[in-house]
Amino acid sequence: MSTLATVAVLVQKYLDDILAEHADITDGAVADYIPELASVDPSSFGLSLELSDGYVYESGDSATEFTIQSISKPFTYALAIDQVGTDAVDAKIGVEPSGEPFNEISVDDQTKTPKNAMINAGAIAAVSLIPGADAQQRFERLLDFYSACAGRRLDVDEDVYNSEKATGSRNRAIAYMLQSFGVLDGDPDEVLDVYFRQCAIKVTSSDLACMASTLARGGVNPGSGIRITSDAVVQRTLSVMMTCGMYDATGMWATTVGMPAKSGVGGGIIAVLPSQLGIGVYAPPLDKNGNSVRGLRACQSLSAQLGLHVMSVTRESRSTIRATHDIAAGVRVYELHGDLLFAGAERALRIVEHDSDEVDVAILELSRVDDINDVARRMLAGMRQSLNRRGKEGYLVDPDRRVMPAGSATASAVIFPTVAQALDAAGAR
């Protein structure tokens, strides 16, 4: 058996076991305040996990379609930020947990805007921010966005849509209240129509896993490789999911599962482990907060067994400095590797500066660095100046300027294609 097959079998077994472990739980009740939702099979149970490279694991009823309901909220929020910018969205929707049920008819006391975009009031306000000449255009834009995240064309469950439209007085009350506070521009009924449609979009747990892993990848759909929105939009969206995504159970979720997430009254949940994976679960019966009972338990098990908690404190998987060699008197080469972010760059440069008592020329070899962010790049570029102040010298070796591309951020660095050339410069100094 190939290694991949072995890994796949192992992970598949984790998923199947978690499903089996929780399949008999019958606690909770299927949502029926939208009459059509009451007709689903309460025993359905699907679990899907998509890795950040697009590899998918599925277990149980992972091909069963259900309505996305409130899991739509983070995606509409993301699209609103993407389309009109953070400031325009912040002017209408807050980012604080509400401490109230998802369908509360309320706004923040001070700002008179919805507390956050994960409750109905904020979600309806987010819909009103999506550009479009009419309801149809707005909805098409939303559907395109959701579909791009899911990697397939999604559509609406007309029965659930009509059912909610016929009975959604609470949401009507919310929309009209928002209009009276100046949060909603335009016709509240038109905005509501888009909101009811977005809630009735049909997905499977595997669609949700793909949508979640698109967030995990900072806005790139791992299957298609297409960038759908920016890192910044996703960072904001995940932050609000982390603090508000599971309604009044968000604190319990954050401690026991530890991933930004969102639930819907259709019985779905998504959870996102940034840069690593996305999870989609489906199990219709809900607890009193409106979260899927088995979905919550399955995510707790998955997080514990696979170690997915975002706050888990791990040892750095590899230290930044892979090796050091003294290649001539007073000349030391530092081989850096892995992903270079703030903490790694800070540590590496602290070691280089500490060594500068005995080393005259430090050469940082970067060809094994996988990824680097802007702050680490600026810090590496600044190394030379700080060594120069001590009468010492610092060079970088970056063969094809992959890590330190030419530009203003790297202008103060002296960069060579090979260690030998850096050594020549050290000798000529």
Decide if 384 contacts 414 (C-beta within 8 A): yes
Active site (catalytic) residues? 70, 73, 195, 247, 265
**With respect to ligand GLN, which residue has the nearer C-beta, 80 or 340?**
80
Distances (CA, A) of 371 to 98, 253, 320, 338: 38, 31, 12, 7
Catalog residues that contact ligand GLN under the rule CB under 6 A: 69-70, 102-103, 120, 164, 171, 199, 264-265, 290
**With respect to ligand GLN, which residue has the nearer C-beta, 188 or 290?**
290
Q: How far is the CB of 120 from ligand GLN (least distance, A)?
A: 5
**With respect to ligand GLN, which residue has the nearer C-beta, 157 or 164?**
164
**With respect to ligand GLN, which residue has the nearer C-beta, 126 or 369?**
126
The beta strand positions in 329-392, using DSSP E, are 331-340, 361-372
**With respect to ligand GLN, which residue has the nearer C-beta, 173 or 321?**
173
Residue 242: φ, ψ to 5° = -65, -40
Q: How far is the CB of 32 from ligand GLN (least distance, A)?
A: 12
Q: Output the known binding site for substrate.
A: 70, 120, 164, 171, 195, 247, 265
Q: How far is the CB of 264 from ligand GLN (least distance, A)?
A: 4
Q: How far is the CB of 135 from ligand GLN (least distance, A)?
A: 16
Residue showing the smallest CB distance to ligand GLN in the complex: 70
Burial class (CB in 10 A: 0-12, 13-18, 19+), 343: exposed
| CB proximity list for 45: less than 8 A, separation 6 or greater | 19, 22, 23, 60, 61, 282, 283, 294
Burial class (CB in 10 A: 0-12, 13-18, 19+), 357: exposed
Distances (CA, A) of 99 to 103, 116, 146, 364: 11, 11, 28, 51
Give the three-state DSSP class for 230: coil
Distance CA 74, CA 78 (A): 6
Q: Output the known binding site.
A: 70, 120, 164, 171, 195, 247, 265
Q: How far is the CB of 30 from ligand GLN (least distance, A)?
A: 12
